[in-house]
Amino acid sequence: MVKPNKILEKINKAKSKAIVEEPIIEEESESEVEVEVEVEGEEEEEEEEEELEETKNESTNTDNKKDQSIYTKKRVLFTSTRGIGSKYRHLMSDLISLIPHSKKEDKIDDRKTLSLINETCEMKSCNYAVLFDVRKGTDCFLWMAKTPLGPTVKFHITNVHTLEELQMTGNCLKGSRPFLQFDKSFDSEVHLQLIKELITQIYSTPKGHVKSKPFFDHIFSFFYQDGRIWFRNYQITDQEFKKESLLTEIGPRMIMHIDKIFSDGFGGNVLYSNPNYVSPNNTRSDHKLSKANKYIKRKHQKSQAQERQKVSFIEPNEVDTIFDN
């Protein structure tokens, strides 16, 4: 597992090294000046210079590599709880196949100790985790987390369409890096910014990842509509005789409803909880309740209708009845 703190330390060290190296070079250059005064052994000096340049280049290269390792060395752990249905299992496998820097883990038996995922991440050297928590075989909750320091976002997933479905005709390379596209509304609020950052970190495949391919033929797009996040995956193909490229949907599709944001990996304080979120249990019970008590409702409606009729009765105007007699 790579702790960000450690990484930061490493970077600082590397930077400090670079800083330390520079003055030495300067000193030597000063010595060069000294040497220049002496006419002899110019060639040697030149050689020395070349060597120095090479070392410089090397050092910058290593710096770059270390910098990039933050981005490149990332892995996402995919797990699910027990009792995940076929639909969500397919969804999970789809996402795994679409995200080359992912690792699949065994199902989790105990839903109460989700914080154990942090440890499994450490064991599997993953720094992100995605959990499919399916309850009652119907309600799927998607947890996305940066482990172990957080944050964690819990979504409720609805309207899932997997790759298996036949109406989505697109296709793309396995392991090609996706473009990510976000709606502007993600920048409007802080929690959405947080979610956006987390999603980009989890979904974007770093450049030069071992399993990745150096072409771009699909795009993940995220929209924030109706208080939910809509996920789409399109294939990009060139269109004949046209500048614009053609998009065909690959799938999967899903709608993510934000439930909560936690400060740590699978735990910690609640940073945000969605006021508009209604748990599927509640919606179900509401639905049942709305169906219940038909008789009472009907009676109520009848009484109301009577009242309305009473009120809405307008006495005929005098003018209207002029010609009646």
Partner 1 sequence: MVSKGSKPANGKKVVTQKKSAVAKKSPAVAKKTISNASAIAKKPTTQKQPTKTPINKKKQSKEIGEFDEDSLKQQLRDMISNGGSFDDDDDEDFDSDVNEQDVMDFDDSEDDGADDFYSEEEEEEEEEDVYGNDLNEEDGEEDDSENNDVDDLYDEMNSGEEEDDEEEEEEEIEAPKSTKRLNKKIEISGDAFQGFASVSDILKEEAKKTKKAPELIREINSDEEVLDENGELVDSENEMDKEEKRQQQLQQQQQKSIRSKYVVNDIEAMKNKLREFRLSGQKTPWIHSLTVTSSSPLEIADIHDDFNREIAFYKQTLQGVTECERLCVQHGLTVRRKPDFFAEMIKSDQQMHKIKTNIQSEKKRVETAEMIRKKREIKKFGKQVQTQKLQERQKQKSDAIESVKKWRKNREKGNVSDEFNIDLIDDIAAKNDRKKVEKSKLPVKGDKRKKKDAKYGFGGKKRYAKTNDKKSTNDMSGFSVKKNNEDRDYSRGKGGKMNKGGKGGKAGKGGKADAGRGGSRAAKQSRPGKSKRAGGRK
Site for partner 1 in 266-285 (CB under 8 A): 269-273, 275-278, 282-283, 285
Q: Which stretch binds partner 1 (CB under 8 A): 13-21, 81-89, 109-117, 175-183?
A: 175-183
Among residues 1, 14, 32, 72, which is the contact residue for partner 1, using CB under 8 A? 72
Dist CA 136 CA 113 (whole Å): 18
**Does 180 help bind partner 1 (rule: CB under 8 A)?**
yes
- Chain positions 46 to 65 lying near partner 1, rule: CB under 8 A, are none
**Does 163 help bind partner 1 (rule: CB under 8 A)?**
yes
Contact 121, 131 (CB under 8 A): no
Main-chain dihedrals φ then ψ at residue 45, nearest 5 degrees = -60, -45
**Does 11 help bind partner 1 (rule: CB under 8 A)?**
yes
Q: Pick the closer one to partner 1 by CB: 123 or 173.
A: 173
**Does 174 help bind partner 1 (rule: CB under 8 A)?**
yes
In sequence order, the 6+-apart residues with CB closer than 8 A to the CB of 30 are none
Dist CA 299 CA 195 (whole Å): 48
Compute the least distance from the CB of residue 278 to partner 1, in Å.
4
Dist CA 158 CA 254 (whole Å): 6
**Does 6 help bind partner 1 (rule: CB under 8 A)?**
no
**Does 148 help bind partner 1 (rule: CB under 8 A)?**
no
- The residue type found at 321 is T
| Binding map of partner 1 across residues 203-222, x = CB under 8 A, - = no contact | -xxxx-----xxxxx-x-x-
SS3 179: strand
Contact 235, 247 (CB under 8 A): yes
**Does 98 help bind partner 1 (rule: CB under 8 A)?**
yes
**Does 300 help bind partner 1 (rule: CB under 8 A)?**
yes
Structure token digits, residue 120: 């499994």
Dist CA 254 CA 196 (whole Å): 16
- Chain positions 12 to 51 lying near partner 1, rule: CB under 8 A, are none
Q: Pick the closer one to partner 1 by CB: 31 or 125.
A: 125
Q: Which stretch binds partner 1 (CB under 8 A): 47-55, 78-86, 110-118, 196-204?
A: 196-204
Compute the least distance from the CB of residue 45 to partner 1, in Å.
37
How far does the chain reach from its first CA to its final CA, in angstroms?
Answer: 98
Dist CA 247 CA 235 (whole Å): 5
Number of residues that bind partner 1 (CB under 8 A): 103
